[in-house]
Structure 1
Amino acid sequence: MDAFAYDLHIHTALSPCGDEDMTPNNIANMAYLKGLDVIAVTDHNSCRNVSAVQKCGANAGVTVIPGMEVETSEEVHMVCLFKSLDDAYEMEEYVLSHLPEIKNKPEIFGRQLVMDENDQITDIKENLLITATTLSVYDVFGAAKRIGAVVFPAHIDKQSYSIISNLGFIPPELKFKLAEIKDKSKKDEIVKKHRLENVKILHNSDAHYLENIAERENFLHAKGRDLQSFFDCLI
């Protein structure tokens, strides 16, 4: 088993809160410059920039996992990682069918840009992506599992949009195998308090700006750097 540096929670310019410099080429090349081996693109309630980042990642020697950060009806953020683009698009269709039709106000939230592998804008999404869906935590977990995705609660140490801050606990019946903690100094306290000793803890950047993409300091141990090997080590 080899060690691979990861960052499995990165936003592109499709997320309105993401900087417009978060283009496919910029993300892939910054990940390369920072020494990362594998990243995941996890925009809010959509995965339309994954394909372009994957193409750029292939040129940079960085594996790119398709992903999406779904906001539940409880305003909990959950990250879903997929084995293929087809699986990601299937989940996206389900999520968008439960996303309220609220027109984005780019002057307030930012533009929602879909780009190709040359960083050219191919579409601008009009429906606001950073809002809660009508799907519960249980709905998102179940749908992701049916597709064969890996799903975990995002930034459980944050005071907003986290499963702990919003629900007060992590439902044991969901049996998460992974959870994300941003602040490493809080890991031991949170693991003990919420009985996560058997849960693999990930430390991701949740980057919305290029400079916030993780450094080469967090590692997965996998047999290879292909998508299947990374999924095998996550589950």
Structure 2
Amino acid sequence: MMLAVDLHIHSGLSPCSDNDMTPNNVIRMAQLKGLDAIAITDHNSTRNLQSFLKVSEKYDMIVIPGVEITTKEEVHLLALFHNLTQAAKFQEILDVTLPKINNNTKLFGNQYIYDEEDNIVEDYSKLLISAISLTLKETIDEVIKIGGIPIPAHIDRHSFSILSNLGFISPELNLKVVEITSTCDYIRLAKKHPYLCDYKKIISSDAHGLGTIFERNFLIEGFSKEASEILSNLHT
């Protein structure tokens, strides 16, 4: 069975996202677009995951807990988790390593935390798009230690990517999966970085608005519609 997935979607907690990226809106839009599974990956925070998981129970939609981390080198790294317990453990690390800088909503936008009815319960006050104090290697090690899957985000982009900021992917990072954008010229990228053939690739939307959530753009093989199986297939 082939499953249509979009494993990089932001909610209204990410300051650069639309305010209507609420649990019900995102999940219903993903359903309308024919997706089987999505991952919610807000910038440096997992605080909207619980409401998304609750809403997912009302629909035939898998929601994978995730986060998009900005490491010390300003590299964006996705972390996908099997459950909320793992995500909560990583949130403890984020709480310690993210700088305590107040968000300027006029400059960066709101950072809304929603309940399962899409009500705003908090406009999170600390800026979430800063770089944490951990290096990329340290962050990857922490994600793996918890049981999550680290995935360098949008590696073909010219900013905030592992290739743009560091120039290459070190084998010492213990990575198995990378993310590319839907517009990536992968043949050209692979010629420049031949070692990419050793990694699994996912293609995601990095949606910050409802309209840019994928349709059935990217398919992965799965024997059942279970989050743990999707993650296991990614990492083997």
| TMscore range, shorter length | over 0.9
List per-residue Cα deviations over 1:101-130 (Å, max 9, x = no partner): 110000111111100110011122100001
Q: Gaps spanning 5+ residues in structure 2: where?
A: none
Partner of residue 202, structure 2: 202
Partner of residue 49, structure 1: 48
Partner of residue 131, structure 1: 130
Matched residues, number? 234
CA contact (8 A) 2:182 2:205 kept: no
Amino acid in the other structure paired with 2:217? E
Structure-2 separation of matches of 1:215 and 1:158: 21
List per-residue Cα deviations over 1:27-72 (Å, max 9, x = no partner): 0000000000000000000011111112222212110000000000
Partner of residue 114, structure 1: 113
Amino acid in the other structure paired with 1:202? I
Structure-2 separation of matches of 1:86 and 1:121: 23
Q: Secondary structure at the match of 1:32?
A: helix
Partner of residue 91, structure 1: 90
Which residues in structure 2 correspond to 1:75-90 (within 5 Å)? Answer: 75-90=74-89
Structure-2 separation of matches of 1:183 and 1:35: 17
Partner of residue 192, structure 2: 193
Structure-2 separation of matches of 1:199 and 1:58: 33
- Aligned-residue Cα RMSD (Å) equals 1.0
Which residues in structure 2 correspond to 1:1-235 (within 5 Å)? Answer: 2-194=1-193, 195-235=195-235
Q: Gaps spanning 5+ residues in structure 1: where?
A: none
Q: Secondary structure at the match of 2:58?
A: helix
Q: How many percent of aligned residue pairs carry the same amino acid?
A: 43
- Label 1:200 to 1:121 Cα distance change in 2 as closer, same or farther (>3 A): same
Single out whichever of 154-163 and 220-229 deviates more from structure 2. Answer: 220-229
CA contact (8 A) 2:2 2:219 kept: yes
Structure-2 separation of matches of 1:14 and 1:27: 13
The structure 1 segments of at least 4 consecutive aligned residues displaced by more than 6 Å after TM superposition are none
Amino acid in the other structure paired with 2:206? D
Structure-1 separation of matches of 2:93 and 2:167: 27
